[in-house]
Amino acid sequence: MVKRLGHLLVLLALVLSACGGATEESTTTAGDSPGTTEVEAPPTTTEPPATSTEVEEEGFDWRQFEGAEIRVLATQNPWQAAIEPLLPEFEELTGIDVNFESLPEEQFRQRLQVELTAQSTEVDGFMSAVLQEGISFTRAGWYEDLTPFPANPAITSPDYGFENFGAGLIEGHTIDGVLIGMPILTDTEMLYYRKDVLEAAGIEVPTTLEEFEAALAVVDDPNGARAWGSRGKGAAAVTQMSTFLYNFGADWTDDTGHAAFDTPEGVAAFDFYGRNLNAYGPTGVAGMSWEELMPLFQQGQLVFWNDSSAFLGSVIDPEQAVDVENIGFARMPAGPGGEYNSFFPWALSMSSLSQNKEATWYFIQWATSRDVVDRLQAEGVAGARRDTTFPDTVPSEWVEVFQHNLEIARPKLPLVVPVAEVRDAIGAAMVSIIGGGDAETEVTRAAESFNRAVDAAG
């Protein structure tokens, strides 16, 4: 259990930085995942996949591109560390040679950008974060649209099960009709809570925002455990705002890519978030991100805390948290606009310049297959399929919520080119509102700054 929790903590490092609050350009480069952290590759823990002969007997030929050679660029992170030891199995299964190059994230992004800009045909597949480069790479025409590949029985195994990827994730990876990649690593928004406090107060886990606000008033203790913690620290808070925005019936952008959150629904969402953190959050919450909030929850000083599902490892680690048996996991409360969630993902994409597209699809298909995702999840690398399993060390309540969220999750960040600039603008508004500022005034100001940044980026 300790080893698996350790791998969950490694995954945590990826998501934390991915959703972090850097306000410089690094928001979309090295600051978003632990590219410079060495990650120990987990051992293979299950039997290898079916041999090529067994697959052919099932009617699908994994070796029809035998002899092909593909080159895949990856950033160093938990998925990369977990998949690399399995590559010989893919090569044996298919007869396709994989030149798999992994680099620290900043170097990875620089190498990928240089090669794609030069129209190099040497890159076949690459890792991509849709919330960072999705728009810019789509505009440049660098993604091969994967939409037709899963639907082609000549090159896709009947066991692949494309329908088992959460609909929200597939929609979130589709830009201007282009499916830019298959999700390989993702987190969703989780509501962590203290079961014992709710039981003592005689209230159920809130399922709506109205119930959530009422529960905060009941369980809050200004001299003890505060009712709610959520990020308030500028750009870092934007990722947490997303689910509230969607559940109030608003969105980040309109069809033109300009701000759409300065609507009555959007203002209501920002007001709800800021007003309740002001009333029921810990002192100084407007300057807090996950680094400050997670320890408070671990030590029982927060009743509710919403953040990344990937925090599970730290939350249930008895060496870091108290009373772990009283920690619960719930869906984010639904709002007047419905029930949604939000995600931050990594995907495996195909270069439109590749001269080995079918062989590259074989690799993407294998890497996102149920068998492989099952094996990665056994080591704490959460995938994006709804038909996979988790080890017994992962609470069933967390699994149920996580898999439900995959179906309804939408992007944690606006899909725009100037990600850093718009996060700064929105984050500044959130800090002011949490401090008691007028929501409509601040949201309007943020939308104006948002639109200027989008227009300047072209």
Residue 14's closest CA among 45, 36, 43?
A: 36
pLDDT value of position 78: 83
Q: Which range among 47-61, 279-293, 404-418 shows the weakest confidence by mean pLDDT? A: 47-61
Q: Does the residue 402 lie in any domain? A: no
Report the percentage of the chain scoring pLDDT > 90: 78
What three-state secondary structure class fits 156?
Answer: coil
* Helix residue ranges per DSSP H, 118-229: 130-140, 167-172, 195-201, 209-219
Long-range contacts, 391-395 (Cβ 8 Å, 24+)? 391/4, 393/1, 393/4, 393/5, 394/312, 395/312, 395/316, 395/329
Tell me the pLDDT tens digit for each residue of 25-58: 333 332 333 232 333 333 333 333 443 334 443 6
| 9 and 87 share one domain | yes
More confident residue, 422 or 31: 422
| 300 and 449 share one domain | yes
pLDDT value of position 55: 40
The position carrying tokens 């109030």 is 248
Kindly report whether the global pTM for this prediction surpasses the value 0.85. Answer: no
Tokens representing residue 283 in the block: 């002192």
pLDDT value of position 202: 97
Q: Does the residue 365 lie in any domain? A: yes
Structure confidence at residue 16 as a pLDDT band (50, 70, 90): very low
pLDDT value of position 250: 98
Tell me if 146 sits within 8 A of 364, measured CB to CB: yes
> Is residue 348 pLDDT above 50, yes or no?
yes
| 353 and 324 share one domain | no
| 303 and 203 share one domain | yes
Roughly what angle, to the nearest 10 degrees, separates helices 264-280 and 439-457?
A: 120
| 200 and 180 share one domain | no
> Is residue 215 pLDDT above 80, yes or no?
yes
Q: Does the residue 406 lie in any domain? A: no
Q: How many Cβ atoms are within 10 Å of 292's Cβ, its own excluded?
A: 16
Q: Does the residue 351 lie in any domain? A: yes
> Is residue 284 pLDDT above 80, yes or no?
yes
Tokens representing residue 380 in the block: 């704490």
> To the nearest whole number, what is the mean pLDDT of the chain?
88
| 171 and 192 share one domain | no
Tell me the pLDDT tens digit for each residue of 102-139: 999 889 999 999 999 999 999 999 999 998 899 999 99
DSSP 76: S
Q: Does the residue 91 lie in any domain? A: yes
**CATH code, 80:** 3.40.190.10
Q: Does the residue 400 lie in any domain? A: no
| 180 and 202 share one domain | no
State which residues form the domain around 380: 2-187+345-394
Structure confidence at residue 327 as a pLDDT band (50, 70, 90): very high
pLDDT value of position 43: 35
* Number of independent structural domains in the chain: 2
What three-state secondary structure class fits 260?
Answer: coil
| 18 and 155 share one domain | yes
Tell me if 282 sits within 8 A of 288, measured CB to CB: yes
| 16 and 100 share one domain | yes
State the average pLDDT over residues 211-227. 97
Residue 414's closest CA among 277, 269, 246, 275?
A: 246
State the average pLDDT over residues 242-264. 97
Tell me the pLDDT tens digit for each residue of 54-84: 444 367 999 999 999 999 999 998 899 999 9
| 192 and 104 share one domain | no
pLDDT value of position 106: 86
Residue 362's closest CA among 152, 190, 165?
A: 152
**Burial class (CB within 10 angstroms; exposed 0-12, middle 13-18, buried 19+) of 396:** exposed
Tell me if 16 sits within 8 A of 236, measured CB to CB: no
Q: Does the residue 243 lie in any domain? A: yes
Structure confidence at residue 434 as a pLDDT band (50, 70, 90): very high
Structure confidence at residue 7 as a pLDDT band (50, 70, 90): very low
pLDDT value of position 58: 60
Rg (CA), the chain: 22
| 177 and 71 share one domain | yes
> Is residue 345 pLDDT above 90, yes or no?
no
| 323 and 387 share one domain | no
Q: Does the residue 399 lie in any domain? A: no
